[in-house]
Amino acid sequence: MAFPAILDACVLVPYDIADLLLRLAHEKTYRPLWSSDILKETERTLVTKLGMPPEKVHRRLQRMRQHFLDAEVEGYEDLIEAMTCDEKDRHVLAAAVRANASVIVTANVKDFPASSVEPYDINVLSPDEFLLDQLDLYPSRTIKVLERLTAGRRNPPETPAIFLDKLQPYVPGFAGEARKYLRGPRIHRLRPSKGMLPPQRLPR
């Protein structure tokens, strides 16, 4: 069974990172989790800070919910006050504890000190660390996701190499390692299950 990982708002906001993470989840490399508070924070950031039209943000979040029906963690609110990480991120850790998540994927690793997560046996990984783990554990699926993702982008057209160049500032380790796979001999590609289609592109 795929291991459960909480996706913090800071990794759901950047379009390319979120698209890649959710497509990997669709391939069953891990089980994505979030909470209503995480989605509200994602929505607030996209609308108020990045200026996205509210209707587009709503469609994006709705599509996420539709693709991952069991991703939203509930019943974590009573745990928030007991968490000892950074105050603004206590709802994230509380949701992870309630869901028995193995990992929190966040760009704010420093906000989750070891003392706050060790009692619950939760690892806190940056998106770069998490994607490197995905590439190490599932190289064929990860490269396949990259190829499918970019094949669907036509305005403007993208290749896996161009996509990785865009990711370089945010996940440099993953971008560098993925390039090695793309330049090297063709690795075995896992065929999709019969009837399985890649997830629809998230609305920008």
User: What is the pLDDT, as a whole number, of residue 51?
Assistant: 96
pLDDT computed for residue 198 by the predictor: 45
pLDDT at 43: 98
Strands 31-35 and 103-105: unpaired
The backbone torsions φ and ψ at residue 6, rounded to the nearest 5 degrees and listed phi first, read: -80, 130
Of all residues in the chain, the percent with pLDDT exceeding 90 is 85
Please tell me the predicted confidence (pLDDT) of residue 187.
Answer: 47
**pLDDT 10s digit of each residue in the chain, 204 long?**
689 999 999 999 999 999 999 999 999 999 999 999 999 999 999 999 999 999 999 999 999 999 999 999 999 999 999 999 999 999 999 999 999 999 999 999 999 999 999 999 999 999 999 999 999 999 999 999 999 999 988 888 999 999 999 999 999 999 999 999 988 755 444 333 333 334 555 655
- Nearest 5°: the CA angle 113, 119, 121 is 90
The arrangement of secondary structure in 4-126, i.e. its CATH architecture, is: 3-Layer(aba) Sandwich (3.40)
DSSP 3-state of 70: coil
Rounded (5°) CA angle 90-102-148: 105
pLDDT at 154: 86
Q: Do the Cβ atoms of 42 and 61 come closer than 8 Å?
A: yes
Q: What are phi and psi of 32, to 5 degrees?
A: -80, 145
Torsion of CA 25, 73, 77, 119, to 10 degrees: -60
Strands 4-7 and 103-105: parallel
Give the predicted TM-score (pTM) of the model. Answer: 0.89
Residue 167, token pair as written in the block: 């990711």
Provide the b/e sequence for 25-35 (b: ≥16 CB within 10 Å). bbbebbbbbbb
| Pick from 11, 55, 57, 44: nearest CA to 30 | 11
Q: Which residue has the tokens 């390319």?
A: 16
Domain residue limits, the chain: 4-126
